[in-house]
Structure 1
């Protein structure tokens, strides 16, 4: 009898209704070009709680947020701004929500940790240290 590896428990996430609509559409339209990240983003939107107004999301990562997070394996701390793909610019530390890190960060709150798979099938873990909206 083989044991099936359990999926890690994912932290609760919250997004605005507008972000949910736009990000779900982005995941759908990107499925053929970026299937893994699009599927991950779609799954995140399916499990997210939704609020009508961004004022309820202080300390929560949303589109346009400046985020400080820690890579739990390396201990490296990074500051990024979470943006839509057409606004991404790594030299300005603007990362797309259609990257594994970007899709993992959306909807998390300060102190939350999430584990996710990279395109190379490695598991990464990130913890949100700070959010400015």
Structure 2
């Protein structure tokens, strides 16, 4: 068991196809993303890898996710990879952000803590997940 699981982070799942894309991304990341790269690597290491979305979906690449922060403020967006060209989406959440990494693999009702780029501690809870359209 790794350190993150020991401190109480929820179990997560990642689609095998998403894992391959994320590993390729990690291999090509610039040093300026070192912190987010480490966070993403830790998440991939602790994830259970699955071949398809179950009936109760979890957040994967292309998923639309609704969540609340520790103050109860609602947020929603679609998790995307940089090469997906979704930076212009009004609701896009890049996997290269701390909140994007934190959301990866979570299911409805699960909560996780993460650290923002400026060092603040945040906690979010997933309130809904819609997998990507086929």
Q: TM-score range by the shorter chain?
A: 0.7 to 0.9
Is structure 2 residue 79 aligned with structure 1 residue 85?
no
The higher radius of gyration belongs to 1
> How has the CA–CA distance of structure 1 residues 64 and 57 changed in structure 2, closer, same or farther, with 3 Å as cutoff?
farther
> Within 5 A, what are the aligned runs for 1:85-124?
85-86=82-83, 87-89=85-87, 92-124=90-122
Note the C-alpha offset of 1:93: 0.8
User: Which ranges in structure 1 are unaligned for 5 or more consecutive residues?
Assistant: 1-6
| Distance across 2 between alignment mates of 1:11 and 1:57 | 19
- Cα RMSD of the aligned pairs, angstroms, is 1.7
TM-score, normalised relative to structure 1: 0.86
Unaligned stretches of 5+ in structure 2? 1-5
* Runs of 4 or more consecutive aligned structure 1 residues displaced over 3 Å after TM superposition: none
Between the aligned partners of 1:17 and 1:31, the Cα distance in structure 2 is 24
Alignment TM-score, normalising by the size of structure 2: 0.85
- Of 99, 118, 123, the residue aligned with 1:125 is 123
Count of residues in Structure 1 that have an aligned counterpart in Structure 2: 125
